[in-house]
C-alpha cells in the first residue's frame, strides 16, 4: 500500500498518515458559513480536500473513508444578511428569511462545488441540527471548570488549558496583540472565548440553562466531529485563516472534554488574485459562479488550483486559466479514445501521496501525454477528479471561449442598460458562422454546429 505523507501543522513536519482504523479513515474539514455564494478561495479549499479525499479512497478503498464537512448555518453574518433583506422590504419573518437564505446558499454551494468536480462528503451536518449536543458539551466544560457562565454568555476559560496556542505556535501575548480577541466586561480574561451567547427576541435562539441564546462558532465543529467521527480521528482540515483562533479553540474544547480529537492538521494556504489579496474592497473579489457564468469550465478552474501546492499561497491569473484550458483540451482529446482499464499512473499517485504534491502530479501527466500513454493519462485525470463525465463539449469543438466571454460581457452590459442590440448582433454573427448559442441563467455555452465556418467568426 502506498504510504501517504502529509504536513501536520501541529508538529510542522511532513509525517506518514497512520490511520487509527484503516477500515475507516476519518477526516473533518471546516465547511462554509452559508450567507453568500462561495468565493474562489472557498473553492480552492474544497478542491484541496477533495483531492485528499480521492487519494484516501484510492489507497484505502472508497468504502473505508469518512469525510465530514460541516455547514455553519447559525452565524451573525447570516443574521445580518437576513436583517438587511428585511429592511429592504423582503416578505416574511426574520426566521423565514434566514431559512430561505441558508437553504438557497447551500443549494448554490452544492451546484458550484459539483461544477469544480468535488465529490459530496459522506456527511454534511448543519450546525442547527446539533444544538442539544452543543449545550451538553458546554455543560460538560462548565462542570469540569473549563468554562463559566456570565451575563447570559458561557465562556471558555483559556487559562485552564495549558497547551493553548500549540497549533498556531503563538504565545498568549502574541494572540492578544493580534487584536482578534474581544475584550468584554463579563470575561475573566480577554483571551476567553464564547461558547454560548444570548439572543435578542428577534434573532434565532434556543433555550438553554443560560437562557435563550445561540452557540459560538467553535463549539459546533468540536461537537459535530465527535458525533460523526468519534472522540479521536485522523485528519482535520481547513484554510490557514482558521488555524487561529478557530482551530486552536476547537482543540481546547475537545481536549478538555477528554477527547483525543484530530491526530493530524492540514491547512491550505489562501487564494489571491493577480498578486493581491482577494477582497471586496479591492474589487478583485469573485465567486466561483462569476467565473462559471463567464464561460470558464469548472474543470479548468479545478486544474488551475491543482497547479499550485496547497501549502503555498496561490495566485489566480488570466494567463493560468488560458494555459489550463489549452492543456486540458489537449489531454482530453488524447484520452478520449483510451479504454478505462488501467490504474492511475504510479508516478501521479506517489506525487499525491507525498504531501499532496499536485504540481508534481501535473508534471507527471505532461510526461504521459508526451509519451502518448493515453490509458494512464485518462486514469490519472480521473484520479484527480477530471474527465469524470467523459469529454465535455468545450474540449472537443473549436475553442470558442473568447466569443463566449464576449457574449457574456455584452449580456451583462445589456442587463444594466436595457439595450440588447449588441447581444443580438453577436448572436446573429455567431449563428451565421454556424455556432449554436445556448444562453441560460447560469452561463453562455457555444457549440460548433454542422455548418461551422471559422472564417466567419471574424465578423463577431
Ligand atoms: P468560510 O465560509 O469563510 O468560513 O470558509 C470556508 C472555507 O474556505 C474554510 O476552510 C476557509 O479556510 C476557506 N477559505 C476562506 N477564504 C479562503 C481563501 N482566500 N483561500 C483559500 N481558502 C479560503
Ligand atoms: Zn471548524
62-119 per-position pLDDT tens digit = 999 999 999 999 999 999 999 999 999 999 999 999 999 999 999 999 999 999 999 9
- CA 356 – CA 142 distance, rounded (Å): 40
Phi-psi region of 254 (alpha: psi -120 to 50; beta: other; left: phi over 0): alpha
Atom of ligand 1 nearest to the CA of 29: 10
Q: What is the mean pLDDT of residues 161-189?
A: 82
- pLDDT confidence tier of residue 396, bands split at 50, 70 and 90: confident
**Residue 69, burial from CB neighbour count under 10 angstroms (0-12, 13-18, 19+):** buried
| pLDDT attached to residue 178 | 65
CB 241 near ligand 1, within 6 Å: yes
| pLDDT attached to residue 446 | 82
CB 105 near ligand 1, within 6 Å: no
Atom of ligand 1 nearest to the CA of 240: 12
- CA 401 – CA 374 distance, rounded (Å): 25
CB 278 near ligand 1, within 6 Å: yes
Supply the residue whose CA is at minimum distance from atom 5 of ligand 1.
Answer: 32
Residues 216, 222 contacting (CB under 8 angstroms): no
Does residue 352 surpass a pLDDT of 90? yes
Number of Cα atoms under 13 Å in the Cβ half of residue 222: 29
| pLDDT attached to residue 427 | 94
Pocket test for ligand 1, best of 9, 33, 42 (most atoms within 8 A of CB): 42
Helices 421-432 and 401-417: angle between axes, nearest 10 degrees: 150
Pocket test for ligand 1, best of 27, 31, 40, 45 (most atoms within 8 A of CB): 45
Is the sign of the CA dihedral 364, 368, 369, 375 positive or negative? negative
CA 444 / ligand 2 centre spacing (Å): 36
Atom of ligand 1 nearest to the CA of 33: 2
- CA 327 – CA 132 distance, rounded (Å): 50
The bound ligand whose nearest atom lies closest to the alpha carbon of 272 is 1
Q: If DSSP states are collapsed to H, E and C, what string results for 189-247?
A: CCCCEEEEEECCCCCCCECCCCCCEEECHHHHHHHHHHHHHCCEEEEEEEEHHHHHHHH
CA 243 / ligand 2 centre spacing (Å): 9
- Name the helix (H) or strand (E) containing 317: none
CB 311 near ligand 1, within 6 Å: no
| pLDDT attached to residue 98 | 94
The bound ligand whose nearest atom lies closest to the alpha carbon of 39 is 1
- CA 293 – CA 443 distance, rounded (Å): 4
CB 271 near ligand 1, within 6 Å: yes
Q: What is the mean pLDDT of residues 202-222?
A: 96
| pLDDT attached to residue 180 | 62
Strand order in the sheet with 153-156: 147-150, 153-156, 193-198, 213-215
Pocket test for ligand 1, best of 35, 41, 116, 314 (most atoms within 8 A of CB): 41
Does residue 340 surpass a pLDDT of 80? yes
- DSSP of 397-417: S---HHHHHHHHHHHHHHHHH
- pLDDT confidence tier of residue 179, bands split at 50, 70 and 90: low
CB 47 near ligand 1, within 6 Å: no
- pLDDT confidence tier of residue 172, bands split at 50, 70 and 90: confident
CB 30 near ligand 1, within 6 Å: yes
Least confident span in 17-21, 282-286, 330-334: 282-286
Cell triple for residue 301?
Answer: 478552474
CB 32 near ligand 1, within 6 Å: yes
How many of the other CB atoms lie within 10 Å of CB of 145? Answer: 10
Q: Give 258-277 pLDDT, tens digit per residue.
A: 999 999 999 999 998 888 87
CB 238 near ligand 1, within 6 Å: yes
Q: Give 412-445 pLDDT, tens digit per residue.
A: 999 999 999 999 999 999 999 988 888 877 678 7
CB 287 near ligand 1, within 6 Å: no
Supply the residue whose CA is at minimum distance from atom 2 of ligand 1.
Answer: 32
Does residue 174 surpass a pLDDT of 80? no
- pLDDT confidence tier of residue 202, bands split at 50, 70 and 90: confident
CB 286 near ligand 1, within 6 Å: no
| pLDDT attached to residue 447 | 79
- Answer with the residue of higher pLDDT: 376 or 446: 376
Q: What is the mean pLDDT of residues 347-364?
A: 98
CB 270 near ligand 1, within 6 Å: yes
Number of Cα atoms under 13 Å in the Cβ half of residue 370: 6
R_g (Cα) of the chain, nearest Å? 25
Amino acid at each position: 500500500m502506498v504510504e501517504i505523507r502529509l504536513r501536520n501543522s501541529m508538529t510542522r513536519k511532513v509525517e506518514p498518515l497512520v490511520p487509527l482504523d484503516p477500515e475507516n479513515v476519518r477526516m473533518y474539514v471546516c465547511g462554509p458559513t452559508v450567507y453568500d455564494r462561495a468565493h474562489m478561495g472557498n473553492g480552492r479549499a474544497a478542491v484541496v480536500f477533495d483531492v485528499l479525499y480521492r487519494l484516501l479512497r484510492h489507497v484505502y478503498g472508497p468504502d473505508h473513508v469518512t469525510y465530514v464537512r460541516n455547514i455553519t448555518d447559525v452565524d451573525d453574518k447570516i443574521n445580518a444578511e437576513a436583517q438587511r433583506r428585511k429592511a429592504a422590504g423582503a416578505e416574511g419573518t426574520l426566521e423565514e428569511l434566514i431559512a430561505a437564505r441558508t437553504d438557497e446558499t447551500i443549494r448554490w454551494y452544492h451546484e458550484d462545488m459539483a461544477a469544480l468536480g468535488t465529490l459530496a462528503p459522506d456527511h454534511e451536518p448543519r450546525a442547527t441540527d446539533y444544538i442539544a449536543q452543543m449545550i451538553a458539551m458546554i455543560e460538560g466544560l462548565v462542570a469540569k471548570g473549563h468554562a463559566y457562565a456570565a451575563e447570559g454568555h458561557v465562556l471558555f476559560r483559556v487559562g485552564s488549558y495549558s497547551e493553548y496556542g500549540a497549533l498556531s505556535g503563538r504565545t498568549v501575548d502574541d494572540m492578544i496583540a493580534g487584536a482578534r480577541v474581544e475584550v468584554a466586561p463579563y470575561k475573566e480574561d480577554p483571551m476567553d472565548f464564547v461558547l454560548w451567547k444570548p439572543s435578542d427576541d428577534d434573532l434565532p435562539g434556543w433555550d438553554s440553562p443560560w437562557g435563550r441564546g445561540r452557540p459560538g462558532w467553535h463549539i459546533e465543529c468540536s461537537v459535530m466531529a465527535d458525533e460523526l467521527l468519534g472522540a479521536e480521528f485522523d485528519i482535520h482540515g481547513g484554510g490557514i485563516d482558521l488555524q487561529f483562533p478557530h482551530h486552536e479553540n476547537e482543540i481546547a474544547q475537545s481536549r478538555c472534554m477528554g477527547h483525543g480529537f484530530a491526530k493530524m492538521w492540514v491547512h491550505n494556504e489562501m487564494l489571491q488574485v493577480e498578486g493581491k489579496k482577494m477582497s471586496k474592497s479591492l474589487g478583485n473579489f469573485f465567486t466561483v459562479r462569476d467565473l462559471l457564468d463567464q464561460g470558464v469550465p469548472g474543470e479548468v478552474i479545478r486544474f488551475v488550483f491543482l497547479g499550485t501546492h496547497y501549502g503555498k499561497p496561490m495566485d489566480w491569473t488570466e494567463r493560468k486559466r488560458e494555459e489550463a484550458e489549452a492543456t486540458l483540451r489537449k489531454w482530453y482529446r488524447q484520452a478520449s479514445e483510451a479504454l478505462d482499464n488501467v490504474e492511475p499512473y504510479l508516478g501521479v499517485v506517489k506525487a499525491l501521496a507525498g504531501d499532496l504534491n499536485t504540481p508534481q502530479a501535473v508534471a507527471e501527466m505532461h510526461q504521459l501525454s508526451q509519451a502518448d500513454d493515453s490509458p494512464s493519462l485518462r486514469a490519472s485525470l480521473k484520479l484527480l477528479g477530471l474527465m469524470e463525465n467523459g469529454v465535455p463539449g468545450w474540449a472537443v469543438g473549436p475553442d470558442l471561449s473568447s466569443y463566449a466571454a464576449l457574449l457574456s460581457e455584452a449580456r451583462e452590459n445589456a442587463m444594466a442598460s436595457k439595450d440588447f442590440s449588441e447581444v443580438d448582433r453577436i448572436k446573429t454573427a455567431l449563428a451565421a458562422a454556424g455556432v449554436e448559442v445556448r444562453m441560460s441563467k447560469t452561463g453562455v455555452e457555444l457549440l460548433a454546429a454542422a455548418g461551422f465556418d471559422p472564417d466567419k467568426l471574424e465578423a463577431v
